[in-house]
């Protein structure tokens, strides 16, 4: 990867940015019936214009909406598919806590805090793309604020294909009279993703990022222990991981000129809480070599994700964005330390591919480890803290890759 005007860029970010307080409050008012979508729209438009300018001022070239047209990072993709039903917050008639895997890291957290799992959307019929995109408004707003020559760099984020599969116990992701098995369910979900990617491509979008906590959960020993103890599972954890990779690859069929990245998330909940820990070692070879994506956005801000050793499995034709700057807390990292970490990572890439460290660096980029506001209220830092973090990412990139975007 050389200096070029297409993603991934040397200075990257993961999509979600801190929302203005008035935007968060107005969306809650809309949900409560105290305001309408027409009241919300002008706030979204202004907030997106401002956050686009923030990114440009920070020297970033992969520009997102900050996910300001949605309340949470997963957006409304699944919720708007035919055959899916979004329930009220709470587990309603016919659905109970027993449908969830209690050892799924995010679900486990909700049960421990006596909170309702943060999204209860279920399959009720055959799944298909509705023929319109839940991302249409976001795309339209972004195209207003970015010159047409840069539409290809707009970053649109999509939720993981397994988001409403992994959290539910085996056989509870869909009614048995709708799908006989996972393969049938996966096939229809894959068609819906292919349609969405085709739509985005037709709108001029060439930069899509999948937000995926679930594959990273297979690095978590408590999750693996829970999986092994669950007598209802029809696959081992290794078999399930392989099935997800094959499933994702069907979802990710896309035009050759569309860049597709995947963010391996460890959780980013209210109060800057994470859900899972564990090094990438156990999944690295299959993740990097078998999954059909161009770029991996990896969390490396704390030891919870292990070391850079798994990057030795990164093929020469793929990229890794190193999330060495935390988005969770305001303390600013030391620039020289971040530069040293990027160079250390390059040594492991070089070891695996047999190339020089300088060549290996061409496969790497730098970013915050996650979004700043995966959930509406955002992480435990302020807007100016976020600005400084983004500027630090740019500064590190400029030091490691001078003159490159």
1: pLDDT strictly greater than 70: no
pLDDT band at 106 (very low <50, low <70, confident <90, very high): confident
Average pLDDT over residues 278-294: 95
Q: Round to whole Å and give the CA distance between 100 and 98.
A: 5
Average pLDDT over residues 19-33: 93
Residue 37 lies in a domain: no
pLDDT band at 275 (very low <50, low <70, confident <90, very high): low
pLDDT value at residue 2? 44
Residue 136 lies in a domain: yes
Residue 301 lies in a domain: yes
SS3 for 86-144 is: ECCCCCCCCCCHHHECCCCHHHHHHHHCCCCCCCCEEEEEEEECCCCCCCHHHHHHHHH
Average pLDDT over residues 323-337: 95
pLDDT value at residue 192? 98
pLDDT value at residue 324? 97
* Contact of 241 with 212, CB cutoff 8 Å: no
Average pLDDT over residues 380-400: 97
Going from the C-alpha of 382 to that of each of 66, 167, 265, 388, 396, the distances in angstroms are 15, 31, 21, 10, 21
Question: Range of 82's domain?
Answer: 55-400
pLDDT band at 363 (very low <50, low <70, confident <90, very high): very high
175: pLDDT strictly greater than 60: yes
Closest CA to 170 of 69, 243, 110: 243
Question: Which CATH number fits the domain that encloses residue 105?
Answer: 3.20.20.210
Average pLDDT over residues 229-249: 97
pLDDT value at residue 267? 63
pLDDT value at residue 4? 57
Task: Record the tokens describing residue 176, joined without a space.
Answer: 């048995």
Using a pLDDT cut of 90, give the percent of the chain over it.
Answer: 80
Residue 29 lies in a domain: no
- Count how many domains the chain has: 1
Q: Cα(first)–Cα(last) distance of the chain, in Å?
A: 11
Q: Round to whole Å and give the CA distance between 181 and 247.
A: 13
Q: What is the pLDDT of residues 193-231, one digit of tens each?
A: 999 999 999 999 999 999 999 999 999 999 999 999 999
pLDDT, the chain, mean: 92
pLDDT band at 74 (very low <50, low <70, confident <90, very high): confident
Residue 150 lies in a domain: yes
Residue 40 lies in a domain: no
pLDDT band at 127 (very low <50, low <70, confident <90, very high): very high
Residue 13 lies in a domain: no
* Contact of 189 with 121, CB cutoff 8 Å: no
162: pLDDT strictly greater than 50: yes
Residue 62 lies in a domain: yes
């Amino acid at each position: 990867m050389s200096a070029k005007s297409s993603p991934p860029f040397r200075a990257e970010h993961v999509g979600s940015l801190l929302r203005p307080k008035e935007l968060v409050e107005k969306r809650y008012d809309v949900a409560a019936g105290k305001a309408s979508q027409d009241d919300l729209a002008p706030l979204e438009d202004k907030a997106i214009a401002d956050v686009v300018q923030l990114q440009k001022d920070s020297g970033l070239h992969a520009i997102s909406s900050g996910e300001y047209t949605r309340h949470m990072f997963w957006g409304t993709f699944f919720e708007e598919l035919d055959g899916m039903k979004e329930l009220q917050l709470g587990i309603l008639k016919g659905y109970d806590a027993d449908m969830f895997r209690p050892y799924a890291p995010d679900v486990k957290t909700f049960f421990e805090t006596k909170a309702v799992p943060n999204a209860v959307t279920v399959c009720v019929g055959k799944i298909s793309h509705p023929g319109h995109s839940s991302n249409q408004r976001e795309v339209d707003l972004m195209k207003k604020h970015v010159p047409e020559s840069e539409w290809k760099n707009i970053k649109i984020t999509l939720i993981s294909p397994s988001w409403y599969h992994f959290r539910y116990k085996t056989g509870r992701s869909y009614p048995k009279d709708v799908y006989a098995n996972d393969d049938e369910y996966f096939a229809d979900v894959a068609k819906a993703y292919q349609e969405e990617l085709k739509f985005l491509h037709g709108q001029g979008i060439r930069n899509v990022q999948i937000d995926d906590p679930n594959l990273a959960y297979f690095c978590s020993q408590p999750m693996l222990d829970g999986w092994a103890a669950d007598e209802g599972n029809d696959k081992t954890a290794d078999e399930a991981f392989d099935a997800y990779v094959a499933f994702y690859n069907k979802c990710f069929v896309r035009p050759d000129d569309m860049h597709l990245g995947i963010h391996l998330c460890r959780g980013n909940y209210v109060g800057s809480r994470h859900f899972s820990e564990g090094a990438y070692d156990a999944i690295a070879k299959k993740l990097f070599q078998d999954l059909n994506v161009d770029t991996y956005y990896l969390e490396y801000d704390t030891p919870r994700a292990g070391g850079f050793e798994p990057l030795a499995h990164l093929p020469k034709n793929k990229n890794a964005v190193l999330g060495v700057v935390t988005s969770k807390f305001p303390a600013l990292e030391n620039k020289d330390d971040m530069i040293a970490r990027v160079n250390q990572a390059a040594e492991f890439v070089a070891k695996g591919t047999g190339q020089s460290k300088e060549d290996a660096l061409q496969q790497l980029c730098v970013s915050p480890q996650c979004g700043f506001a995966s959930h509406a209220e955002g992480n435990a830092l302020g807007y100016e803290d976020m600005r400084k973090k983004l500027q630090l990412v740019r500064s590190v990139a400029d030091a490691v890759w001078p003159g490159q975007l």
